[in-house]
Amino acid sequence: MAGSPGAGLERCGSGERYTLVAVLVVVLAVLVVLVVVVRVMVASGSGGAAIAAPARCLPRSPRPRAPTVRRQGAASDREHGSAPSSSTRAGPAGPRTVGRSRPQEAPMTATLHRSTARRGLPDDATLSEFRTRAAGYDDRNEYFHDDLAVLRSIGYLGAAVPESFGGWGLSLGELAANQRRPARFAITRRWPCACTTTGWASPSSWSGRATPPAGGSGQGRGGYLAAGHAEVGNDAPVVMSTAAVRGAGWLPLQRSQAGSVPTGRCGPTSACTRRCVRSTAPRSCTASSSGGRRASPSCHGGHAGHATVAEPLRDPARRRVRA
């Protein structure tokens, strides 16, 4: 009977079958645990790279990008039709490599160009001119009038003004990021505060009081935003100014409020007269009262359409802001 077909099964008792099944179950359980552990490690990234997991189980990782070396201002050069400038310029402080953004700044730069290149950002050639003048401004302690005129001509002073007001409509982030580029070009020290007033244009529009006249806001057209305020120890702008608050507006006065700066600029050819001639009250300034503390009421209010607020004069010792 040893050669009968059922001899093997007869030797395999029920206890041995149970043992075999238990071993198989344990092996399967171990495999399941291993698979789970591998997936958890791959998902958490701890040591997952050393484990050859199936590709479909790997999480999507950003494809490593080569550093985008893009000359800043290239887009604006194309926009303005100017010739590409050299990558190295010799400025007052020596040659500097310009326009080559750092790799980690490439995304920011690309976004900046996409959103603002068409709006007339100063190109490399313009910024190079700024650089050549910066040292002179700082040495003579002068205001950067020429640079400001360029910025006005390209509309940069209205960068923060909403488009509905005639500006570029840059967000705070865009404008702040754009501040870096001119600063890399050895801009004069006056630049930071001047650009701060540029950024103030937007809250001025939010206030709802600066209603846009036909043609856009003053700053959108290149005007200048002024903020008159005094501080402890710095009240000269208020007591020596020839303009005073009256109601919700400002009045041009014939002389300073404190009488210390007798200007008397409201004459037939003065800036004040030209201002009012263009407004709806042509005789208001010439009819201003003496004493310097009051002006003709006709000069007050209702002169919409002339939005240019202020323009500093070339006076290094004492800048005066005229209309």
Partner 1 sequence: MRPSQSHYETLLDAVFVPDDRIGAVVDAGAQDHPFLGAMDVRAPPLMANVYTGIAERR
* Near partner 1 in 105-144, by CB under 8 A: 143
Query: Shortest Cβ distance from residue 98 to partner 1 (Å)?
Result: 8
Residues 144-183, interacting with partner 1 (CB under 8 A) = 160, 172-173, 175-177, 179-183
Among 13, 107, 237, 282, binds partner 1 (CB under 8 A): 237
Q: Are 148 and 129 in contact (CB under 8 A)?
A: no
Q: Which of 38, 135, 236, 277 binds partner 1 (CB under 8 A)?
A: 236
Query: Which window, 33-41, 61-69, 74-82, 233-241, contacts partner 1 (CB under 8 A)?
Result: 233-241
Establish if 289 lies at the interface with partner 1 (CB under 8 A). Answer: no
> Given the complex with partner 1, which of 42 and 276 has the nearer CB atom?
276
CA distances for 197 relative to 45, 152, 184, 207, 223, angstroms:
48, 13, 20, 15, 11
Instruction: Write down the least CB distance from residue 289 to partner 1, Å.
Output: 14
Cα separation of 202 and 132, whole Å?
A: 31
In terms of residues, how long is the chain?
323
Residue 68 sits at the vertex; the CA angle it makes with 170 and 168, to the nearest 5 degrees, is: 10
Binding flag, residue 256, partner 1 (CB under 8 A)? yes
Task: Provide, rounded to whole angstroms, the least separation between the CB of residue 33 and partner 1.
Answer: 52
Our finding on whether 322 is near partner 1 (CB under 8 A) is: yes
Q: Which window, 31-39, 57-65, 114-122, 241-249, contacts partner 1 (CB under 8 A)?
A: 241-249
DSSP 124-176: HHHHHHHHHHHHHHHHHT---HHHHHHHHHTTGGGTTS-GGGTS----HHHHH
If one asks whether residue 71 binds partner 1 (CB under 8 A), the answer comes out as no
Tell me the number of residues near partner 1 by CB under 8 A.
92
Report the residue number, 119 or 322, with the smaller CB distance to partner 1. 322
Work out which of 110, 125, 135, 226 binds partner 1, going by CB under 8 A.
226
Whole-number Cα distances in Å, 33 to 28, 40, 50, 52, 70 = 9, 11, 18, 17, 50
Contact segment (CB under 8 A) with partner 1 among 49-57, 63-71, 109-117, 230-238 equals 230-238
In whole angstroms, give the CA distance from residue 151 to residue 174: 17
68 binds partner 1 (CB under 8 A): no
Q: 126: closest CA among 106, 102, 107, 144?
A: 144
- Within 78-107, the residues that bind partner 1 by CB under 8 A are 96-97, 102
- Helices of type H across 141-289: 145-153, 172-183, 191-206, 236-239, 271-278
